[in-house]
Every structure is written in structure tokens, then in C-alpha cells.
Amino acid sequence: MPTATILSKIKERLPAAVLDITEFAGEKILHVKGQHILTVLSALKDDGFNFLADLTAIDNLTLGGFDRFAVSYHLLSHKTAERVTVKAYISEEKPSLPSVESLWKTADWQEREVFDLYGIKFEGHPNLIRIMNPDDYDGYPLRKDYPRLGRKERGDFPVIDRHIQKKKRLE
């Protein structure tokens, strides 16, 4: 079945979950509500999309869209060599959605990375702790309202004193 038919069937079966189906540069994008992502992805997995290639998030603060945060999943079907993107929208007040780690084990580390960099919580994840930043880091760096230069963490280390005095000797 080509991707367009699969997506329209999912829209018929789960009308409460699907927000929109769009297309850009020849690829199909399915926009869904965050809480229903597990049912949508299980349906897609049963329809042949057996490989989760990528899991990431986008902060729509200045871009606009259905809601503030969008978690995007890129799926690949090994049988038909087709790809589809699924974007799950969640709001700023309650940034959490179900984890898909039960469907694909690769979601484990990628969801931890999204939690570390965006602060989005995944319900049902076995081990949701920070992965890239140090454990005592404060803040979610990739959000649009976090400054690129950070909040002074990178200057916060002890200066080593060698206890010897080396005189400067010029030529």
C-alpha cells in the first residue's frame, strides 16, 4: 500500500488523534496530538513501517504551528522503501507524552536526549535521566528562550595553582 493510502486509513480510524496530513518536497507528514502517539505509531508499525530512524523535537515558539513543542518521528518501511514523518504536538504547560520504547528499543536513548535538551517528559520510559549534559545541570538548552552562551556554567571551575613560580624568560 502506498503511504498516502496508509495515512488516510489511519485518519479514518483515529479521527480524534490526527490533526492534519501535509506534504513537503515529496514527503508526507502526519500531525497528531501528543497523547495518542502510541496508538498511531503501533498502527503504522503494523502497516509495514518497521524501522524508527530518528526521534527528535522542535520548539515552535517563533515558528507557529499547532502547539509549542512537536516531537517528530521518522519511520522507514524496509519492504516498500518509503518514509513518513509523524509529528506529535504537546503544550508548554504539560510537556509530556507516552514513550514508544515498548515498540522500538532505539527510542530509549533518543527520548532521554529530548528530555535533556527540551524538558519533555516521556511516560513509561524505564530510565528518564539526562544523557548529554552533566547530571546537575539546570535548564533545557535547546529551547528557544535559552541563551546560546549558557548561564555561566562554562566558567565555573576551580583555577589550579601549581605552587611554583616560573619566571618568564624572553629570548
Partner 1 sequence: MLFYREDELSFLDNPLLNKSTAMNHDDIKSNVLTTTLESAINWGRKNSLWPMPFGTACCGIEFMAVLAARTDISRFGAEAIRFSPRQSDLLIVAGRISIKMMPVLIRIYEQMPEPKWVISMGACASTGGVFDTYSVIQGVDQFIPVDVYVPGCPPRPEGVVEGLMKLQDLVGKEKLSDYSLAQTK
Partner 2 sequence: MTRVTEQPLETDKMVLNFGPQHPATHGTLRIIMELEGETVTKATPEIGYLHSGFEKLGEDLDFNQYITITDRMNYLSPLCNNVAYALAAEKLIGIEVSKRTEYIRVLMCELSRIADHLLNVGMLAVDLGAMTAFLYGFKLREDIYDLFEIATGTRLTTSYTLVGGLMRDIPEGYDKAVLKVLDEVDEVASDIETLLNKNRIWQDRTKNIGIISKDDAISYGISGPMARAAGIEWDIRVNEPYSRYDEFDFDVAIALNGDVFDRYLVRMEEIRQSIKICQQSLEKMPSGDVIVDPGLGYSLPPKNEVYNSIEGLIYHFEVTMPNRGMTPPVGEAYVPSESPNGELGFYIVSDGNRTPYRVRTRPPSLINYSIFSKLIEGHMLSDAPAILGSINIIAGELDR
Q: Where are the alpha helices (DSSP H) in the chain?
A: 3-13, 37-46, 107-118
83 scored as a contact of partner 2 (CB under 8 A) = yes
Q: What residues pair up with 76 in beta bridges, in sequence order? A: 51, 83
CA neighbor of 59 nearest in space, from 48, 70, 45: 70
CB of 138 to partner 1, least distance (A): 11
Using CB under 8 A, which of the segments 1-9, 48-56, 92-100, 161-169 binds partner 2? 48-56
Distance CA 31, CA 89 (A): 8
Bridge-based pairing state of the strands 96-98 and 27-33: unpaired
Per-residue string for binding with partner 1, 86-125, x by CB under 8 A?
----------------------------------------
**Footprint on residues 112-171 left by partner 2 (CB under 8 A):** 113, 117, 130-134, 141-142, 148
User: How far, rounded to the nearest angstrom, does the alpha carbon of residue 42 sit from its chain's CA centroid?
Assistant: 18
Binding stretches for partner 2 (CB under 8 A): 24-25, 27, 29, 50-54, 56, 58-59, 62-63, 72, 74, 76, 78, 81, 83, 85, 104-106, 108-110, 113, 117, 130-134, 141-142, 148
